[in-house]
Amino acid sequence: AQKVTQAQTEISVVEKEDVTLDCVYETRDTTYYLFWYKQPPSGELVFLIRRNSFDEQNEISGRYSWNFQKSTSSFNFTITASQVVDSAEYFCALSELNTGTASKLTFGTGTRLQVTL
Amino acid sequence: GAVVSQHPSRVICKSGTSVKIECRSLDFQATTMFWYRQFPKQSLMLMATSNEGSKATYEQGVEKDKFLINHASLTLSTLTVTSAHPEDSSFYICSVRLARQLSIYEQYFGPGTRLTVT
């Protein structure tokens, strides 16, 4: 069975601080995808990144960066120089590549990030 | 622009009535759509996989007779909450599964429907 754990339920930082959101996953599959989504107060999920299990290269997109460590089953997300607009709920998710399961997503419990002035 | 739309965005209904939520794929034909439920301050939980032209596949613990799913066309899936009760009050989100490459799928999420049962 798949499982995604986001141990941090809520994080509060002051604007311009860096913040890292942790994600640890469990799966018996050797091939899978990992995702991060942002959910602002409006509720709509915003896709941030998809990473497949064969690609352990870290990725940077503007102020966002992701650290995928297969050895520790972690896929952490760092926001550099945080801004108030980053305040949202962030979800890490895991998807199998087995088409028989229709590529269902298993979500973590989410981390609520609050960035204040 | 938006790939997936949901209607209505908010609905309030009385206990015992039924509510239908629509999920539309705007730019793509989708053979597979997913329905999720999110309780306040909780994660998204997959309820069912909606397959065009066939019966939906429900996750364990989800009552198929209570949450009726109809995927009658490649662009529309509907979720009907029958005999709604206050505990059904939740945020319902659909997603559309699209194939980017062979065996590589992406899910695009709708904006969600907030259901309140009084």
Q: What is the DSSP string of B44-106?
A: EEEEEEEETTS--EEPTT--TTTEEEEEEETTEEEEEE-S--GGG-EEEEEEEEEEEETTEEE
- Say if residue B8 is preceded by a cis peptide, omega within 30 of 0: yes
For residue A84, report the phi and psi dihedrals to the nearest 5 degrees: -60, -35
Strand partners, B107: B97
Q: Which of residues 56-75 of A touch B (CB under 8 A)?
A: none
DSSP A83: -
Single out the residue of A20, A37, A28 nearest to residue A93, CA to CA.
Answer: A37
**Which portions of chain B are predicted below pLDDT 50?**
none
Residues present in chain B in total: 118
- State the smallest CA–CA distance between residue B97 and chain A in angstroms: 8
- One-letter amino acid identity for B91? F
**pLDDT score, position A65:** 94
**Segment (H or E) for A92:** strand A88-96
Cα–Cα distance, B45 to A6 (Å, whole number): 15
3 state DSSP class of A70: helix
Name the one residue in this structure whose structure tokens are 């798949």: A2
Which has the closest alpha carbon to A43: B97, B94, B82? B94
Q: Which among A42, A96, A97, A107 is the top mutation candidate for probing chain B, defined by the most B β-carbons within 10 Å of its own β-carbon?
A: A107
Contact B49 A104 (CB under 8 A): yes
Per residue of chain A (117 residues), give pLDDT as tens: 789 999 999 999 999 999 999 999 999 888 888 999 999 998 889 989 988 888 888 888 899 999 999 999 999 999 999 999 999 999 999 987 665 555 788 999 999 999 999
Strands A32-39 and A46-52, sheet pairing: antiparallel
pLDDT at position B102:
59
A107 to chain B, minimum CA–CA distance in Å? 6
